[in-house]
Structure formats: structure tokens, C-alpha cells
Structure 1
């Protein structure tokens, strides 16, 4: 065989060898080859099927052994049956293997031996799908590699039928078919906005679920525009679907988003007419529709041979279809005067009929005719204005794509002089490029987009400035734009709240809610977004009770609404769990956080940002429930994940390190807690967060750690700093942040000996908590307990025991019986018994406390304090031996964690001195 013929047949051979025999024969018949070339190609494929190559046989045997050795379980999934096979992979139906919940997924495996190229493609598909989140794209749920090196993906299982089968059975009208196609356009637009080109859009890669939802599948040969690794050298691919592939794909030229537009155009024609083009003579079950000139023009524009003449984007394609439905001029048509006027008349048919009747009745009045002529000219001017607007929109779309391409290129490794290019590098490059532009129509939407992305990284200062600039003079013209702007205002409200401008945040959240009510009054998902945004602003304003009530309503509706997006469900869940934990509702907070994690585990890979939020919420619930060690483990997992997949700094790292400091503080590691709080402050400064409430909370948290270590004077100074910040910001007396810091300072005053001031403040705070939060609240219970601690320090057993009985009743309604606070209550009862001279009663209560701490594996600091107290009682009873045995292991723990003046260590040192211990 001559070399030129081999070269001509090679691309067809590589593509056709992946097809089954029936598909292969049909494809060969359509190839632009002469009879001899077709025969030669058929023989080559048959020889390839027959094998006979020893190397190929060895590889096949290895693949067979690999298949036999591979388990039917992949991660948490068990294979059920094969669903189908394509050129690169085989897809199986799978179900959960661990029984935690019921769910079916589609597992995609490589066919045969996992070659380097096939493995790279499957990994790239996983990378691409991990970045896409759209209701019309089958989601990536999990993935990995087996011990034998077999890579696999777990994808959303679509229970439905292929697109064309659904069209034939359930979509008889043009409206039905266009609705399906527009859902595909939305999916492709989402992929393109994430710089992903699908490259294999065809009927087999589109499913319609039983509920009518369109799902785009198989990103196996998709690629990232300007992606790293080897793909940046790739133009086309030999793997494509003839009949749907664009001319540039078949010719091996560069691939862009325009290639997907071409495939979409072919697919739309097949949906409408039952054939791909005029030469497609295959029998089709689809009833063909009559297409008007506009629709034929749209199809022609989408399938232009020259990519530059096609629609600039999937959004522009969709907009032309919307114009078609509304009877407006479409971009694909030639916009002559007559065409624009016909379109205007068609849209205002009744008005023109009435005008014609008036002319007919009063034809003697020539001025009437002139009046109608004037109206027609006005209509033509309106149509010309619409044409100019459409051209501007297309230009802006192209400008946006150019801008993104330039920004990404500016951060590419060869330009940035670094092999490691982070998300922040890309954003900074985009922001720098944007600063040089002077077109508000391009700049402001891009500013809003970048504000969201900087907000996700936790850079609140940059995000707030970008969003403020991007929203200047923004007014929605239609529903879609209103909903986009409402989302922008939600983000703006969040950023304003973090910065401490609560009034402006509430205005922004309310504006978003008003636009949703005006433009999408029946959209329940959009109402959920408004509830979430308003709840977060109420929290920032100090009204957690109102925020919790709103989030509870939102979560109940989100669970009842199947269409609730995961990111919205996760946001509501995380916020509610966090606020409930802060309010002392640990059990409910934990249940909500774990339910959220279960859903995220089912729908997202383990390395997804959503896990960070819910791990933090679960940790907060564990901390509130008296499990600081488990809280520390969860928080360290969340921090590691945040650093890997999002950013090592920013607002979220501020929150995570602050929460970790609280857990470590509860574990008695006060020096480490103080350093973590300083790290949290650095993250806060780096994120541009300077809101009074956040800074006051930071001062209060550091004061609490210093108090635990026994540095009461310095702690009180930090509390005073916190109050100065709150006073400067005009934070009122009943704001929850101020009241909590007041409670903590009063506790410190009581430990430092300022009993009278502490009693006055705690009594006043408890009365206000009863009025504001109610008797069943965690705040009221905490203040009652602090009064118990103060009565113990003041040696007032009568007052203290009455308060202790009340505190015990309140806490039993809030916390499980194994919560450590009930062991601390036994310590308090022992102290009050000792104040009354009841040494036996004191010993009984303290022995129960020590045994309880030992049984639950309590923190060393808590156990050591209880042992030192029991040692003092045993010394008072004359048993110096047991007293020494109890105190000897406790002293090193107390000395390591606390300063000499800390109240518990000071008492233990007095006992040690009496026992002669050093």
C-alpha cells in the first residue's frame, strides 16, 4: 500500500476502530472515498479486529487479567450492570456499597488496557467535570483509581432516554423541541464560561430524564481552553463524530467554542427535521416540522463553515431563538427594511389590524394615512435600534471572551515566569487587565464576576470594592438580568456585613429580594436565596433569633424542593448549623451538619470546597457539645482541604483558625490557642476585614484564652479594647456580640477577685437574656452557670446551690447527659459542700466528677483540676497518701498550661505546699 493512501486513511481508521460493526459500516458508506479506498479501509479494520500481533495479544491478555482482578467495587460504589460502551470507556450502573444511603450512579471505566493517553483523558474529564455545576450537565460525584491502576469516575446516573427518542415520543411541537434545545445551550454556555469545549456534542451524548430535564454527558474528549499540561499543544483530535463534528475538527485545525456551536446547529436541525443535512437519507422516527425562513437562517448561521461567521457564543445562539419565539428580528436574517417592518407588524398584529380598519373607514382623511406612515417609520427606527443593540451585545460577548483569554494568557506559566499558577494569579491578572479597559458595558459585569471569585477566596476588601464599582447604575431589563443582579447584590450584602456596615448590607439584600419578587414572583429557589441572604445580614446585625427562624424555614423548603441547587442547600445548612451551635443547640446543629455532609458526599468529590463549610459546621457543633478533641480533628481536616483546593488565606481561613483556637483552648493548650488567634488576626487583616464586630470578637477570644491561662489583668485589657471597638461602631447594648463579650469579662472579673462588679454585670445580663432570648435559650443557661461559678468563688453556698439547681435544669434541656458541664456541676456541688463543712459530701461529689472525667476520656486539664480538688479534700480528711497520689500527676499539667496566679493552679499549689510536693 502506498504511503499517501495510508496517510489519508489513518484518521478514519483511528476513529472507526472504536465503533461497533453496525455503526462502522454506516460511517464507511458516508466517507468521501472512492470504492477502492473504502475496500482497503474495511480490510484494515477487519485485520485489526482479527489481531494476530503478538504484542497486541500480550496487551489484550494483560487487559483481561486486569479486568478479572479488578473488584466490582470502586470506592463506596458497587457495580450492578453495564449501561453501554463507547470508543474510550465502558459505563456501568452502580449503587452505594456501604449502605449509608441509597443512590445509583454511573461508573465510567476505561475499555481494555489503561494506556497513558486514555488515562490522561479520563483524568482530564474528571478535572473538567469537577469544575462544572449546572442542572443540565451530568455531575461528577466521585472518582479515583483502583489498586491495579484502573482509573474510574462516578457520574450522576440519568434515568431517562436519549434525546432523539424523547423528541420523537414527547416533543411534537416546535416550542417543545426548542425548550429542550435551549436547556442544552444553557449547559454548553456554562461549560464555555468555565473555558471548557465539549468537542463531541451529538444525540448520543444528550439524555432526557424522566422528569424532562436535559442532561449533557460525556466530556471524554473535552478540553480546557488554554489548559496546562499537554493539551495546550493540541489542535483537534482524531476522535470525533462524523456528521456532527465541525469542519475544523475533521480537518485537524484549531478547536474553539465555535466548534461546539456548529455541532449544536447540526443537532438542532436533526431535532426539528429528523435529519442532519440535506444528504442525510436515513429513516427517522422524528416527525419533521416546517421551518420558516428565520429558523432556517438560524440553522445556517450556526453551521457556517467559517467559525468566525457562526454565533459568537451559546448565549447569543439562545438569544436568537428567544427573538424568534417573540417575533423579533433575528441576527441570522438579513435585516432589510422590509424584513424589520414585517417583524414589527407580526408582533403587533392586532394593532395594525385596527389601524387598517380606521384607514379604510376614514380613507377620505389623507392625514390618517400620513399618521400610519409615521408609525411605520418609527417601527423601522425601533428595529434598527434593536439591530444596533444586538450587534453591541454580540461585540460585548466577543470582547468578554477576548478579555478572559488575555487574562489567562497573562498568568500562563511562560508569561508569569512561574510553573505554579494559582487561582489568585489568574484573578489578579484579570483585574489588572480590567483596569485598562474603559467600556462600562464590559467592565462592570466582569467586575461583579471577579468580586464573586475574590469573595470565594476570602479577600473581602477586594471583593467589596469590585462589587461596589460593578453595581454602579445597574438596573435589570429582564428576568434573567434581574436574577443575575440579585445574586450580585446578595454577595454585596454578605461583603458589607463582614465589613460591619449592617444597614447597607440590609439595603442590598432587600434590593435583591425586591427584584426577585418583581421579576420572578413564582420562583421558589430564588425566594430561598433571598431568605438566606437576609438571614446572614440579620446575624451580622446581632439578631440571631430572627436569622435562625428564617434559615429553619429556608432549610425546610429546600428539602421539599427537588430543584434546590446544591450550593444553595449547602449554604443554608452551613449557616443554620453554625448559628445553632453558637446558640447552644448542639444536637440540632450536629444533625443538620451531618445531613448536609451526607448530601455533599453523594453529589461531590471529597476534595470539593462545599466540604470545608460543612466540616466547620460539624466541628462547631462538636465543640458546643463538649467534644473539643473531635472538633479539633474536623477543623484541621477542613483547614487542610481549604488550603489545597481554595486558598491558604482569606476570610474563611480566619474563621477556621479562630474556631480551631477555641477548640484548642477548650483542650487546655492555651499558648497554642493564643498563637492560632494571632494567625486568625493575620488572615483577617489580609482579607481586608475591619468590621467592628469581627475585630471585637477577635479581642474577646484572645482575652478568653488569656483568662484561662490566668493572666486576668491582660485579659480585662483586651475586653476593654473590644468594647472600645463596639462603642466606636455604635453597636448597641443589646447586640448579641456585646452581651457575650460582657458576659466573658464579668466571668474574668469574678476570677480576678472583682466579685461585686462581676455580680452586678452577670445579674443584669441574665435579666436581659431572659427578656431578649428567653428562659430556654443557651445564653440564659450560660449566664445562670456563670452566676454559679461566681457564687462558688465568693463562698456563698446557699445562693450558689439554688442557682446550681436551676442551671442543671436548664442545661438538661440543652445538652446530652454526657456533656462535660454536668461533671463541672458536680465539682461545684463539692465546693459548696466543703463551704458548709460537709467533707464527706464534698468527697462524694468530687470522686464522681473525677470518675466521670476518666470514663469519658476528658481533657487532661479538666481531669487534673478535679484531681487537685479531690486531693485537697482528702488532705483535709487526713489522708495524705491519697492526696499526694492524686495531686502528683495533676501538678505538671496545671503548671504547663497555667500561670501561677490562675485560680485553680493557685489552689493546687497551696495543697502541694502542705503536702511537701514540688
Structure 2
């Protein structure tokens, strides 16, 4: 009900109805609404919701308690410790002399009929059999004075689960582990035919040992058919802030009602606030109407938690919570166990069921599995197309996240249709033509965005972002760059500063890997400037950005500062997230590379091995980042002169990357490094084959002018020089020198290395004057670069020794 005037009419009608006796309200509403069926339905639903929530929205002083008798059975009440819509809770002690025991007694309101009392006692006998470590035990039950039922429960000392997360400053993984304890307890109750109906943080305590205990199963509903009479005869009781839509509307409760409540509990655990917190203190009607209005905004868009970041919530966890909170029970997780399993999949970095329709999420995994030509067989195309058709559901999730349902639904359909056409067209091109690669399919789709969405820039930007992220996932920087730039070109139309910062950071990483460090620096600074406007909210984005910041410092030659940036980031990451997580492993990888650049080979190898071990413990040993770590580790052994270990690690990394990812810029870099080891061990033919493959791949995925592509050209020349040099080698090296100096400048280490190779070639062919001059130029540049160039000075010494043997003089000066 988005029309304020319409709600005012409903509000006035319900206010008037509440003045009448309960039995007269329905007929009065029918008469008052006349023929306006919509108005009658809305007012009736709201009135039912208020009836259901009666007693839970007290904002003034609590009424005085009716005193309990001095003794209830074997129990002596001592003091009141809580009061709510379902009665009072007293601290009590056993007084029959058998043994000492402290308990909590819940005294329920005296509205039970004799038939209700019989049903209540039968239910308590069933609930007493719920023996689970996560459920506070029901010890006893009975009927006190004035027919007031009471329940005697295990007394649990602890903090509510949200308060525990806040006070202990728990990282995300530990919060999810706590939540999984809750799921285990609720799932156990469901297996025994019991629904809680009032799950909320206050009913979930965490003790000093970090164990979760669920309270208040005493108001739960049994699921057997014989419980229906009591359910119909007694008024529903729940807390509106954590109630499911079917409870607010007076509908049927089930295990899926608890799934919804768990979604709200998880929301508050991770975002630091409940989705309806802003409505606290408002009128009953406004609160309940908001509950009826639909799902809340995504936790990533509402978080105020200083520990769990927007980036950590965005994606899997937004989707998981969104699925649990769907208004239609059948659209939620089918069980608490299914919810728990999706949390487990997220923790293990596996695809979660809640995102089964997400475009880029599913397609990234499809591209990883099918990096070979994606239209080689119809089955492959159909498999990917099925995943893409589900994009409609992904954009229904986007509706949840942005709270602009109609716009996002239309945009989602447009994106779905466009990507679907992309693969359908690829399939149609199969007959009689060479199979298309994943990159070619994405490139063709990207080329048509301007024509397809000329009048809809917001949807065009969404398609660009989806395709750009897919190019990045397959390490295709050439394909990713124009798409990310295209998004920024539509930034004003999109009007999403959070997304803009992320796109700038992704583009910074892209152009950095293409060798454009100044541009990468500028883009990084822009992204960081936005994140620093709210450093508590974007603390993890800032932490992650330190890795690129460090890489840029290394590239500029300030290696010591690069190491300091990473070491500080590692300390902060450990404090926030602990030692066993992906971010820690990635930072150790970057630190390993930084130490290798600094010439501290022992520290570099140690950090790389530490990162690799952590990736393997996390179940990510064959992932992209772990393979980058393998590359660094092998490079460390190579620089240390341990060629056998270097070859072993490079061979392992190549095999894993070929199998998992296929052609990419990262694969090209790895092949290039492996070929260099083979060159050093004298296997020129094998080295030449790998270098040739790397060169083609680097030009395709990183760009012909990228540092990677230019490095592969240098390696090819070095392999040629080690064998039978071709007649055009001098001209090829000269052109390479010009290209490197044009794109990266004469002071770049790659320029010095090319000059050094030219000197070696000149010495080999007898041009001593040119060799001597080039050697002096190369040595000066390498010495100026410091530690990163130290290993190449050894090559310079070798060339100098060759020249001195040829001339019999000292050619250093």
C-alpha cells in the first residue's frame, strides 16, 4: 500500500474498528467499506495483524505484575527477571529438598479454557522431550492459581546473540558459525514436529563458552493434526519485528515461518541492526503496515556494523537472507537445513542455492568449467543457456536489494533477454564454422550493447558491468577495460556511487595488469577517496585496496613502503577477521611477492608457502589466487637458483591453471615464467613452444602493448639468442626496445632488460662497441633500480666477462 491517502483511510477504519468488541469488528468493516473490496481486504489484514501482535508493542511503563504464589509445585519464585506479551519470567529455585537447582519459570496469561489447559499440558510433555544441546530444556509445567499455566525451564546465563556479536567484535565467519548452531537446534525441533513461532535475538542466548541456547519453545506449536484445535482457539502470539507475513496476516504457520524469522535474526547479526529498526517507537499501525509492505532492503545496503563490511554482505549473504525473507513461504528455503547448507556453501566458497539465478555468479562458474570452446557441442551451450535464463530471478533479487521493484524487474528482463540472445546466436554460428571461445562470445555481446540499449543507459550499464566482470574472471583485461569504462561513461545515469567506487577499483586492477600504472594509481585513489568518506562502513574495501596500493608502490620502486603497507594491512585484517580466511591468504601472497622484489628471497618463499597452505586449508588450493601464489613460490626458487624446485612448482601451477581456467593473461604469465626455467636448463625447444603460446595468449588477453606481452617477446628473443639466432633478431630487439620505451619509459626495468639482451646479442655477433655501450646503459639503469633489479646485474656481469675475454680489457667504464 504505497498511496499515503489510501493508508490514511485504512488507518481510520481500523482505529474505529478497534473501539468495537472483537466479535463486532468484521461485520462493521464490511458495512463501512461497502463495495470497495480492496479497501476491505487491506483493513481486514491490518486488523488481523494487530490482533495477532497484541501485547508486544508496549512503549509505556509495564503494568504491575500479578504476584506468583510463594511456591509452584517444587519451585519457589524469587524475583521477576522479564515480562512480555506472553507473560512473565521469574528466577526460581527448587525447594523440595531433593537437590539445589536454579530455573526460570514462565507464567502465561490466564486466558486458557479447560480444554486449552489439557492441550497445553500435552504439548509440554512433548516439548520436554526436546533434548538438544542448543535448546534450553523444559523441566516441568503445570497450572497455577487462576488457571494460569506456567513452564519451568532451564535457566541460561548468557547474552543475546546480536549483543554477543557486537560485544565480542566477532568477525563474519564466527557469526555465521554461531548462526549455524541456531539452525541445528531449530532443525532438530522441526524434525520432532515442533515450530518455535517466535524466534528472535532475545530468545537466542550465547553462554560464556560460545554455545547457543534457544529459549521459549514453550509457546511453540506442535505440527501434528491434533494440535489444530488449540491453534484455532487461541490467539496467535509473536513479536512483530520478527514475524513472517503469514503471521501478520493471520495465515497458516509452518516450519517456513521459522525460516523467515531466522532470516531476520541473521540480518541483524550481520548488519548490526534489524530491518525495521527505524520504526521503533512508531505507532502499531505504521509498524505492522511496514511489515506487510514486503521484504526489507538488503543488509548490505543497510548495514551499520563496524566489523562486517558491505562487500562481505553483497552477493551471497544478501541473496541467502533475501531468500529466507521472501513473503511467499513456498519461495523461501524448503527447510532450516537447506538454509544451513547454503551458509555452509558460502563459507566453503561454493555456489549458493540462493543465487541460482544470478547472471555473473553462475556464468563465472560455467566459464570456469567450460573454458574450452563454449559452443563445441550443443550440450555445453544449452547448459550455459539454462543458467542464464535464470537471470530473471537474479534481478528479482536486485529488486529486493534496491527497493525499486518495477524498474529492476524490467531491467532484469532486458539483461536476461540480451545474454540469452548472446548464447543463442553463438549456438547458431556453430554449424560449418570454427567453435567460439568464451572470450569471443562475450566480445560479440559487448559489441552490440550500444545499439541494443541506446535509449536505456541504466540497463546498458548493468549489461556492461555483468560482461566486464566476466571478462575479468577469465583474466581477459582487453575485454574488461572498455566495458568498465562504458559503465563509468554512464555513471550519471546510473547514480550509484557505491557501485562506481567498485568499478573504478576493478578498472584500476585491470589497467595495472596492462602496465598502465599512473592511470591505475589515479583510479585507485578515486575509489579510496569514496570509501574514506565512511571508513567504518568500507573498512574491508580499504583493506583489500591496500594490496593494489602495495603493488603500485613496488612498481614505482618504493619496495620498503610497499611492504609496510601490507604488513599494516595484515595486522588489521588479523584483528578483524582472524588468521584463517581468504583475505589473509591473499595478503600473504602479496607480501611474498613484495619480499621477493626486495631481494629477501627467504622471507618471500616463506610468505608464499604460508599463503599456499592457508588456501589449501580453506579448500581453495586450485583457485585463481592460490595459483598466483604457486607462481610466486616457483619464481622465488628460480631467483634463489634452485631450478629443480622452481620447475616442480611451475609445472604444478601450469597443469592446474590449464585445467581450471584455460587461456588467460594469468596463464600466459605462468607459461612465460615456466619457459624461462626451461631456457635456463637448456631445453630450448620446449621453452620456445611455451614462450610462443604465452606470447599469443598475452596479446589476446592483456593487450599487445602490455608489459606481459612485451615480456613474452623478450623471452622469445632470449631463447633465440641461446640457440641459433635468426638474422632478424637485432631488428626485433630494436623494435622491442622502442615499444617498451614508448609505453613504459627508459627507466623501467623491462627497458634495462631489453638493453641488456641487445648487448649480449651484439657481443655474440662481434659488435664489441655496441655491446659495450649497451651494457653500460643497462647496468646504470639496473643499479639505479636497486633490489628488484639485483638478479639481472648477474646477467650483466656475465656479459661483461664475455666482452673482456673478447677484448682483453676492462669494459666496465
Q: Decide whether aligned partners of structure 1 residues 639 and 571 sit closer, same or farther in structure 2, where only a CA change above 3 A counts.
A: farther
Distance 2:696 2:806 in 1: 41
Question: Aligned to 1:554, which of 460, 464, 487?
Answer: 487
Distance 2:14 2:675 in 1: 71
Distance 1:383 1:563 in 2: 37
Partner of 1:809: 738
Verify: 1:824 aligned to 2:753, yes or no.
yes
Contact 2:591 2:607 in 1 (8 A): yes
Distance 2:184 2:393 in 1: 28
Distance 1:718 1:529 in 2: 40
Partner of 1:67: none
Partner of 2:515: 584
Q: Decide whether aligned partners of structure 1 residues 606 and 446 sit closer, same or farther in structure 2, where only a CA change above 3 A counts.
A: closer
TM-score, with length taken from structure 2: 0.53
Shift of 1:514: 6.2
- Structure 2 counterparts to residues 212-611 of structure 1, below 5 A: 324=7, 334=17, 336-337=25-26, 340-341=29-30, 380=40, 384-385=44-45, 387-388=47-48, 406-409=160-163, 425-437=174-186, 439-444=258-263, 446=265, 470=321, 489=355, 502=368, 511-513=393-395, 516=398, 519-521=406-408, 532=465, 535-558=468-491, 560=492, 564-565=496-497, 567-601=498-532, 603-604=534-535, 608-611=539-542
Q: Decide whether aligned partners of structure 1 residues 590 and 827 sit closer, same or farther in structure 2, where only a CA change above 3 A counts.
A: same
Verify: 1:712 aligned to 2:643, yes or no.
yes
Contact 1:834 1:842 in 2 (8 A): yes
Distance 2:789 2:664 in 1: 35
Shift of 1:407: 0.8
Distance 2:742 2:182 in 1: 58
Distance 1:388 1:545 in 2: 59
Distance 2:51 2:480 in 1: 46
Deviations 1:780-802 (A, max 9, x none): 32321221232333362744323
Moved more, 603-612 or 454-463: 454-463
Deviations 1:487-533 (A, max 9, x none): 98599888879989857997887743465486334998898677556
Contact 1:447 1:469 in 2 (8 A): no
Shift of 1:718: 2.4
Partner of 2:572: 641
Shift of 1:827: 1.0
Deviations 1:463-504 (A, max 9, x none): 999778656587678xxx9xxxx9985998888799898579
Deviations 1:729-754 (A, max 9, x none): 4x43x344433322322222222211
Shift of 1:777: 4.1
Q: Decide whether aligned partners of structure 1 residues 607 and 761 sit closer, same or farther in structure 2, where only a CA change above 3 A counts.
A: closer
Question: How many pairs were matched up?
Answer: 520
TM-score, with length taken from structure 1: 0.47
Distance 2:353 2:16 in 1: 34
Contact 2:664 2:697 in 1 (8 A): no
Give the root-mean-square deviation of aligned CA atoms: 5.1
Distance 2:705 2:789 in 1: 31
Q: Decide whether aligned partners of structure 1 residues 582 and 696 sit closer, same or farther in structure 2, where only a CA change above 3 A counts.
A: same
Partner of 2:689: 760
Moved more, 719-728 or 677-686: 719-728
Q: Decide whether aligned partners of structure 1 residues 426 and 777 sit closer, same or farther in structure 2, where only a CA change above 3 A counts.
A: closer
Distance 2:777 2:708 in 1: 27
Paired residue secondary structure (2:186): coil
Moved more, 625-634 or 702-711: 625-634
Shift of 1:854: 3.1
Paired residue secondary structure (2:747): coil
Distance 1:676 1:633 in 2: 15
Contact 1:608 1:645 in 2 (8 A): no
Q: Decide whether aligned partners of structure 1 residues 744 and 509 sit closer, same or farther in structure 2, where only a CA change above 3 A counts.
A: farther
Deviations 1:310-351 (A, max 9, x none): xxxxxxxx9997972695889877463367547866xxxxx8
Distance 1:469 1:422 in 2: 18
Q: Decide whether aligned partners of structure 1 residues 798 and 322 sit closer, same or farther in structure 2, where only a CA change above 3 A counts.
A: farther
Partner of 1:663: 594
Partner of 2:633: 702
Deviations 1:825-878 (A, max 9, x none): 121111111101223322221111222233344546246425523641564266
Distance 1:810 1:738 in 2: 23
Question: Aligned to 1:849, which of 770, 778, 793?
Answer: 778
Deviations 1:656-698 (A, max 9, x none): 2212222222333322222111221233245443554344333
Distance 1:322 1:664 in 2: 66
